A and B are shown apart, each in its own frame.
Chain A
Amino acid sequence: QKEVEQNSGPLSVPEGAIASLNCTYSDRVSQSFFWYRQYSGKSPELIMSIYSNGDKEDGRFTAQLNKASQYVSLLIRDSQPSDSATYLCAVNRVTGGGNKLTFGTGTQLKVEL
């Protein structure tokens, strides 16, 4: 079982729709959770962080965390063509005295006109 799992997609949504991206993780002691956006040929860009159960909203983005189900999701409202990218879920836990950020393989999102 992979430590962080994401559906690779592509996930296609029409412009203006809600895109829902999901991520599950295997290590129950994971403590913090992040979503990164990566455009083709570019480096990952942090868009959301979430640390406690529930929802966290920032503009058109909402991150949701359910530690009991070991599940993290990202909702993108009013999706725009510029949101087309790969979205990486990352899970952090402290191990061996330091942090280790483990990434999923990413979900490719395509927002169609």
Chain B
Amino acid sequence: KAGVTQTPRYLIKTRGQQVTLSCSPISGHRSVSWYQQTPGQGLQFLFEYFSETQRNKGNFPGRFSGRQFSNSRSEMNVSTLELGDSALYLCASSLVPDKNNEQFFGPGTRLTVL
């Protein structure tokens, strides 16, 4: 069974631009969560999606948004990029958003903001 896929793997953008990252979950998984990983802050929760609905959101500004499609694929968007948005963005999928859900991570998208 194929794992979580994320595209693109690497991105270089300049301040003020916007970016869209894509995530395809493991086949049959219907819940997708997004995380930001930086050396200083570690892994931080961005959002959780299930059935095309955002179920939970972390403490990030409104410039960070996301959505989920009917096939469970998800995208996240960051507008008006700042230097501090440079990070590894990770998507994780799980079968359903159960409290015991095991989340499996994709390879990540490395975003560099210049």
Contacts and interface: CB of A to CB of B under 8 A. Distances in A.
A98 B31 CA distance: 10
A98 B33 CA distance: 10
Contact of B33 (A45, A101, A104): A101
Contacts of B106: 43
A93 B98 CA distance: 10
Interface in B88-111: 88, 90, 92, 97-108
Contact of B55 (A34, A93, A97): A97
A56 B58 CA distance: 30
A101 B99 contact: no
B105 A43 contact: yes
Contact of B48 (A34, A99, A106): A99
A100 B105 contact: no
B99 A104 contact: no
- Name the interface size band of chain B: 20 to 34
A99 B92 CA distance: 12
Contact of A100 (B45, B100, B108): B45
- Name the interface size band of chain A: 20 to 34
Contacts of A70: none
Given A101-B33, A106-B42, A92 B99 contact: yes
Interface in A68-97: 88, 90, 92-97
B43 interface: yes
Contacts of A16: none
Contact of A44 (B50, B90, B101): B90
A25 interface: no
A88 to B, nearest CB: 7
Contacts of B27: none
Interface of B: 31, 33, 35, 42-45, 48, 50, 54-58, 88, 90, 92, 97-108
Interface of A: 31-32, 34, 36, 42-46, 49, 51, 88, 90, 92-106
3 residue pairs, one from A and one from B, having the closest CB atoms: A98-B56, A98-B55, A103-B43
